[in-house]
Structure 1
């Protein structure tokens, strides 16, 4: 009995020791220093402000989705930290003439289902983007592609209809991803599944809770990614994200300027900031009365005090913007000098009177309830527009409904945020050309179309810049959107995270990130 009792005690003691060891895995040592044991699982926990709207890169433009599927998929090329275009799935490329691009592909790259990726997959992916039934939000990016030829397993050729100054830059877009044909055919689309060649594999999506990714052990870049697992937690309330980053429940999260200021002196948290390529906007359904009258849209622009929005909504950490964000440098014009940015209430009232609305009108502003900056912007616009007799009601809707409302143009006025991209073609052609994939406003102007079409095919940089200056001025004059401000972005990062640097063109880059 004594021997049996001692044996049980020994087994119990060993189990206790093992459980204690497991419970301490990934934790700090007794002096609070990070545990650098190479056996510790490299797990990064991120708090997201929104639920993904779907995972299909060819169909879903919402940033809440892009931040996740950009880790799962790869494209032919990408931007480096200095915004130089470098190879990704393409080792290199050549251009025999102005309308032909030949890409040499990485050999041995595998999809997450274990199958090797070849040029046929690249051809399939871009033909899917261009197929009308896909209704891809980036179809207009590649509308200039006349044909795609597979030259061999690792070489593919794109033949363009005309010279295209934007082609390579458009290929860097996260949505220009190479996907597996069999995954599409098996599931109908890729909204709930994901089979890519990127650094992380899709594991699970628990709605309104989390998305889990794990390291792609077969990733073609040796030694990357450094993380074993990434968990994206959905935390729509900023107070919850603020608490989670303070306590160490999560390792990384985005915050507003106001919340970032609250924790800038926290010992274990670092705030990383950068000027974004985004801008906030007011979108108009230009086919709905009274917004089909450009004088009405111009009056609303004159009644909008953009600096006030920057000061109140963004705590002063935003700059007044046009359709091309100021962080794009010389491509952007100084919109503060434009007459429709003058905040001239008397002129606004006169324009309304000329349009047949001397006493103003009633209208509804729709916005996403889960984004505080959008709600705050709507409330400020409501107050500002009341000064010229416009009585605006605010309608707040959930994110899924908001995405549908945007894509279906089922709101007269929509407050939101857009990204200017990395080339002015996206900011202007993509959103406002008559056939632009993201022109959901019903806006059409032949002179504007001609400008951005010419800009897309013009190689000379100085000439191209002047074309886009003219296009921006034309767009401000017609005001299918009101362009408001471009905010600073803030990311709160725990001090146990290494190698994370957010860039204006990619605030989600975690391939070289690790945990101490």
Structure 2
């Protein structure tokens, strides 16, 4: 499947998808598609690639999206049938993420654990193919002149990826045309690039968001009213303007408008029922006092080498002080912050931590699934039978409005738990110098072959 810049999803290597019953998906594989080495794509390549997500030994990150898959079968030379353990109306869309990437089975098998590394490379079917890979320095890809889709005619012969982590270094390289463009331009480079005379900074829609996640720790923050109070005290508009340089929007929920690929009116009604993201110190102070948490201590972790995260944490700390909470900052290196997401021991002594996340497809279900009892990011052990029932109901119905209604109810329950303190929906930040055009200014680039649209601005 392929996700487009507007987050719509359509069949790609699957020419069509049949859904004969609630537990079966039949993917009819497009004929005439070849891998970069000339071998034709077959059902075996598809079943093998998707099957790796079910194999615990492969360590596949995307296996979480295959949790409802029972088995994957080749039912023809160009057909793969997937049987589900339980209904899952979201599954085909999730194949538009990296979880649906198809590699050449024989190539993957022959390269073993080196597949996907600089030494083993990859073997896929896209409009650009891997040419070289120098770890930490550069990846080069060249146009695939034998690409199967005759409607796609990539203009650029070679695209090189370089890795610059310092915002000033990146901004200078972009303005001097050493680099033609960049996605995810660091916030620290926004002001400089907005005034550039050699190119333009674009902002576009994104499913990315930043907020704070409760770890389930005891103490003052164990009271959901105290978590709500801290959220109410934070000036999110000022945060968006001053720290994010106007490239973000305050949100009321982690289920925000950019992820509503369907059921917009239904989601909007629930969203409008949430507290305003505007500051409400009076209500926040009242909640803290009622909870008996005045002078309570809260420990907030943030990434020390991320200036945006540090500035955000300092704003949160200041907001807490205004309502009688002592927000203590614990600044940690990137690897330590990453450990918080996977290691309960690493979260010991931390009440909340700043997190920047994104939702892969325009469907809130991904977020909701993460807060089921065994959810990947359910750090606070949120457990609500009513929430789980609504999530399961949403999985089981193909009617978009009914699914939206179930997801909206589940969202309200999750929001009311204050396991998440959502802050901002961050925009996609794309810079292109004046001689380059075509790349979409949308976070959809993550799963869309954007380089096929890249070309000269003249």
**Which deviates the most, 267-276 or 78-87?**
78-87
1:316 counterpart residue number: 246
C-alpha distance after superposition, 1:385-422 (max 9, x if no partner): 22222232231413x44333323352333212222333
Q: 1:138 aligns to what SS in structure 2? A: helix
Q: 1:394 aligns to what SS in structure 2? A: strand
2:341 counterpart residue number: 406
Corresponding residue to 2:296 among 339, 360, 364: 360
C-alpha distance after superposition, 1:290-318 (max 9, x if no partner): 54443443333233332222222223342
Q: Shift of the alpha carbon at 1:157? A: 1.0
**Which deviates the most, 171-180 or 341-350?**
341-350
CA distance in 2, matches of 1:267, 1:391: 42
Q: Which runs of 5+ in 2 are unaligned?
A: none
Matched, 1:494 2:445: no
C-alpha distance after superposition, 1:49-91 (max 9, x if no partner): xxxxxxxxxxxxxxxxxxxxxxxxxxxx113455443222112
The number of equivalent residue pairs is 438
1:221 counterpart residue number: 149
Given that 1:379 and 1:394 are in contact with CA atoms closer than 8 Å, whether structure 2 keeps it comes out as no
Q: 1:424 aligns to what SS in structure 2? A: coil
**Is the alpha carbon distance of 1:108 and 1:171 closer, same or farther for their aligned partners in structure 2, counting shifts above 3 Å?**
same
CA distance in 1, matches of 2:292, 2:57: 42
| TM superposition score normalised by structure 2 | 0.84
Q: Shift of the alpha carbon at 1:335? A: 4.6
CA distance in 1, matches of 2:454, 2:299: 47
Given that 2:6 and 2:444 are in contact with CA atoms closer than 8 Å, whether structure 1 keeps it comes out as no
Matched, 1:380 2:315: yes
Q: 2:10 aligns to what SS in structure 1? A: strand
Q: 2:451 aligns to what SS in structure 1? A: coil
C-alpha distance after superposition, 1:85-120 (max 9, x if no partner): 322211223232333222221234344455443212
**Is the alpha carbon distance of 1:506 and 1:408 closer, same or farther for their aligned partners in structure 2, counting shifts above 3 Å?**
same
CA distance in 1, matches of 2:220, 2:132: 46
Corresponding residue to 2:98 among 149, 157, 174: 174
2:122 counterpart residue number: 195
2:452 counterpart residue number: 511
CA distance in 2, matches of 1:138, 1:293: 33
**Is the alpha carbon distance of 1:510 and 1:444 closer, same or farther for their aligned partners in structure 2, counting shifts above 3 Å?**
farther
Given that 1:210 and 1:231 are in contact with CA atoms closer than 8 Å, whether structure 2 keeps it comes out as yes
CA distance in 2, matches of 1:166, 1:429: 12
| TM superposition score normalised by structure 1 | 0.76
Q: Shift of the alpha carbon at 1:267? A: 4.1
CA distance in 2, matches of 1:442, 1:113: 47
1:3 counterpart residue number: none
CA distance in 2, matches of 1:498, 1:316: 23
Corresponding residue to 1:477 among 408, 416, 438: 416
Q: 1:274 aligns to what SS in structure 2? A: strand
**Which deviates the most, 85-94 or 284-293?**
284-293
CA distance in 2, matches of 1:334, 1:120: 44
Given that 1:105 and 1:154 are in contact with CA atoms closer than 8 Å, whether structure 2 keeps it comes out as yes
**Which deviates the most, 448-457 or 429-438?**
429-438
**Which deviates the most, 258-267 or 164-173?**
258-267
Matched, 1:153 2:77: yes
Q: Shift of the alpha carbon at 1:349? A: 4.5
Q: Shift of the alpha carbon at 1:280? A: 0.8
CA distance in 1, matches of 2:300, 2:4: 42
**Is the alpha carbon distance of 1:185 and 1:366 closer, same or farther for their aligned partners in structure 2, counting shifts above 3 Å?**
farther
**Is the alpha carbon distance of 1:332 and 1:277 closer, same or farther for their aligned partners in structure 2, counting shifts above 3 Å?**
farther
**Is the alpha carbon distance of 1:451 and 1:435 closer, same or farther for their aligned partners in structure 2, counting shifts above 3 Å?**
same
Matched, 1:86 2:16: no
CA distance in 2, matches of 1:433, 1:447: 11
1:26 counterpart residue number: none
RMSD (Å), alpha carbons: 3.0
Corresponding residue to 1:212 among 140, 143, 146: 140
Corresponding residue to 1:458 among 392, 397, 402: 397
Matched, 1:369 2:305: yes
1:305 counterpart residue number: 235
